[in-house]
Amino acid sequence: MLRKKTLALTLSCIISGQVLLAPMAGAITVDEAVNNLIEKNSTYENLVTNQLNLDKNEADSFVRGVVKDLNLDTSKLNDQDYINQIKNKVTSEALKNPAITNAITDVIKNQGYDAAKNAARDLANAIIKELKTTTLATGGAGGGGGGDVSKEEFKITFSGTTAEVSSGSKQYINVSGPQLKDLQNRSKVLTMHFEDTNLSFTNEALNISELIGQEKTMLQVQLKKVSPSESQKLMITPEGNKYKVVGNVYGLKAMQIDSSENVSDITSFKGKVTISLPVPVGSKESADQGDLKAYVYNEKSATWELVGGTYNSAKNEMSFETNHFSVYALLEKVAQEDVANKLVANRFNDINGHWAASDIEYMANKGYVKGIGEGNFGPEQSVTRAEFAAMLVNVLGITEQGGISFKDVPADSWFHNSVAKVYKAGLAKGKGADTFDPQASITRQEMAAMLSNALKYQGKQSSGDVSQLSLFQDNQLIDDWAKQAVADVLASKIINGKPSAQGVMFAPQDRATRAEAVVMLRNLLDK
């Protein structure tokens, strides 16, 4: 086990270090970067031959060979899962090399595991520094300074309650540790201006403890436009023929750089970041009508997921919130799909004359809800807890996903991501410590609780008067835990009562239908 861990730390760092950094500069090839490392870097030679006691020829040959065999896919170099695959491949190949495994074992025997681990870490740092210097030196023609641009500090301007910084012509913005501390002290929201896109970080999002106030450290945010050819590849999805990209596809990435120039990805922020994407002039009407929405690309499932967004006609931009970076784009349904969607009643054979037909048509047009198959919507069918979770995710555009420990929500289930998102957002709880009961029909009072939480999530909470529940003839049937939530959604006019011969009922224990769910969600949208 020790041998394998040390090999992973040592040799995979050699490969992963150059893989992550060499392509970013775009100045030299991966092979050229490896040549510079092996042939010119004295630190590399010292660490390999002296600290790790590896035969340099053996190490050099291994590095060249394994890099060649990796057949790198440069379009995935920002994908941590792909990088981990590379590390596993390197470790696996190293374990097959007798000279390398024997040398590593000797280091552990003579100096201990920590010595081998520290040498491996030093080696990785040396490789990263060498590659950054090499790629920047060869790629910085016309720059005049020749310095390490990744450590450049950008000027932040303050005005009233705002703080702003511009990327100029660059595809990244750096904020130093001292600048982060200044922003925290002033409690400022920082807006980063790129060429046509703005990112606004809340004070909580900038609360990066490893960097705040630390000299020679940086938060680096990168925003790159995906090439047209790559954008087309990303649209090869199960529903890719139904949508078209409007404008550009944007790749966003955040990293932290410590004082030793170690670079690590920031996978999520502690607070919200508002992303504002430009809406092309010719798409204003689509944005106004709600046919143009922001989507995030899910690399694992190779699908685009609805984020939603709010359109600002004055600024002509679509804005949405997230706590992590990925690949985003504005997507619009293609013309033939738009025409078809105007005839939703014909698609859904079972909603003609239904009391909720217009709401079902509207929500289906916007992509918030789908049918049950065979041309039907199933308006009177009950809604499961999992189905309502998925509907809420679509309507609210929730992207933040946390871990869940519900035994009845398998990782490979269609509803896993939706349940994880509503749970992380505080919209739903389990029925016990390890049970969510996803296939159970949701009751009207359970739905009221989730909708009340949705109002809070949107910052639109309406505090209802519990005494108003006396309007319902069956108010005594509403469980205590649900009374405030029912009062909230009643005050917000999201849920209404159900007329009966005995008067208006709330029917808290009744199973909510798909039609009822759609109407309530549309009411939520209109708030």
Beta bridge partners of 319: 276, 310
Q: Is the pLDDT of residue 326 over 50?
A: yes
> Which pLDDT tens digit goes with each residue over 437-449?
999 999 999 999 9
Cα–Cα dist 280/92, whole Å: 49
Identify the band that residue 463 occupies on the pLDDT scale cut at 50, 70 and 90. Answer: confident
Per-residue confidence (pLDDT) for residue 48, from 0 to 100: 73
Per-residue confidence (pLDDT) for residue 327, from 0 to 100: 94
Which amino acid appears at position 93 of this protein? E
Residue 213's CB is within 10 A of a number of other CB atoms, namely 15
Per-residue confidence (pLDDT) for residue 347, from 0 to 100: 63
Q: Is 24 helix (H, G, I), strand (E, B) or coil?
A: helix
Q: What is the 3-state secondary structure (H, E, C) of 118-142?
A: HHHHHHHHHHHHHHHHHHHHHHCCC
Q: Residues 6 or more apart from 442 whose CB is under 8 A from it?
A: 382, 383, 384, 385, 387, 388, 450, 511, 512, 517
CATH number of 150-333: 2.60.220
Cα–Cα dist 297/331, whole Å: 11
> Which pLDDT tens digit goes with each residue over 220-232?
999 999 887 788 7
Q: Measuring CA to CA, which residue among 250, 197, 192, 249 is closest to residue 221? A: 192
Per-residue confidence (pLDDT) for residue 338, from 0 to 100: 44
Q: What is the residue-wise DSSP string for 222-249?
A: EEEEPPHHHHHHHT-STTGGGEEEEEEE
Q: Residues 6 or more apart from 516 whose CB is under 8 A from it?
A: 356, 383, 444, 447
Which amino acid appears at position 227 of this protein? S
Of the two residues 374 and 340, the one the predictor is more confident about is 374
Per-residue confidence (pLDDT) for residue 240, from 0 to 100: 55
> Which pLDDT tens digit goes with each residue over 308-324?
888 888 899 999 999 88
Q: Is the pLDDT of residue 111 over 80?
A: no
Q: What is the residue-wise DSSP string for 378-406?
A: -TTSB-BHHHHHHHHHHHHT---------
Which phi and psi angles does 274 have, rounded to 5°?
A: -95, 125
Average pLDDT of the residues in 451-473: 86
Lookup: tokens for 374: 């065979």
Per-residue confidence (pLDDT) for residue 235, from 0 to 100: 79
> Which pLDDT tens digit goes with each residue over 231-289?
877 877 665 567 888 999 999 999 988 888 788 889 889 888 999 999 988 888 888 88
- For the chain, give every domain's residue range: 2-139, 150-333, 343-525
Give 416's Cβ-side CA count (13 Å radius): 13
Top-confidence range, 100-104, 140-144, 239-243, 443-447: 443-447
Tell me the pTM: 0.46
